[in-house]
Structure 1
């Protein structure tokens, strides 16, 4: 019998569960596409839940029947690095799937829900900074690759990513 998956909005009380998911999944999922020298500096900075996202009403979780968080992701109006804001653009944010539960449609379900929510507020464009690992996933959702980008994480630390976009 398969486990029932529920999608729900995150709350600040989910901080520890999302932190644990990111800290467990990112190192395992990204290892095939990034050298250890990048991961050793980036993982401690990217594998942390963002309290402002959890409290935003725009960050979704896929949970199993026991309440464990198996996937997460959401959107914001402001860009992740500088907060630049365009009314019709949403930025896909902090998407993750438990490494033991990939290829089950969980991230797709989370992002479909998040994108539907964003569209209901007038969003017509989605921008995303994808990991190398997730580029094909985003392409399967209709995103177009724009090119490489380095995401500044801290002074002297940048994370190689891929800029992507989707209209509609």
Structure 2
């Protein structure tokens, strides 16, 4: 592993935007019809400034290039519950352990912060990835991205003990 995982800052916004914009269309097209992607991709392929500044969102970086991003946030009602947030790996860096390193780091940081359970709204594409890291599938769901725009996803969870 020649990359490093580090927390993001607002300065990473353009690079994370570029990562999401180039990778999500390629990674998701096998599992979603064009009719879903045409409305969803413009909404999900953008970095979220507040998330990047949260201290719980990370990138994997190699030679000043961002290979992946992802993190977690604490639930607003339950201090022991966290949520996996916006995990993506550059399609050109798949199978190098990038996503696994980011997710393991996020889970370690969440556990250290007192989180005992992690929830995840996975894309259909990422279900095997999360399952390999100990998440169990709870069932299908629809994520409301905007008025009348629903994105099919899979609800998953994992204990952090």
Structure 1 length-normalised TM: 0.93
Q: Any unmatched runs of 5+ in structure 2?
A: none
Task: Kindly report structure 1 stretches of 4+ aligned residues shifted beyond 3 Å.
Answer: none
The Cα offsets for residues 110-168 of structure 1, whole Å up to 9 and x where unpaired, read as 01001100100100000000000000000000000000000000000010000000011
- Provide the C-alpha distance between the structure 1 equivalents of 2:124 and 2:98, rounded to a whole number of angstroms: 19
User: How large is the RMSD of aligned CA atoms in angstroms?
Assistant: 0.9
Q: Secondary structure at the match of 1:100?
A: helix
Q: Distance in 2 between matches of 1:27 and 1:75?
A: 23
> What pairs up with 1:30-69 in 2 under 5 angstroms?
30-64=28-62, 66-69=63-66
**C-alpha deviation, 1:91, in angstroms:** 0.1
User: Which 5+ residue runs of structure 1 have no aligned equivalent?
Assistant: 79-83
Q: Could you tell me which of 97, 100, 110 is aligned with 2:92?
A: 100
SS in 1 for 2:93: coil
Q: Distance in 2 between matches of 1:7 and 1:142?
A: 21
Partner-residue secondary structure (3-state), 2:86: strand
Say how many residue pairs are matched: 160
Q: Report what 1:81 is aligned to.
A: none
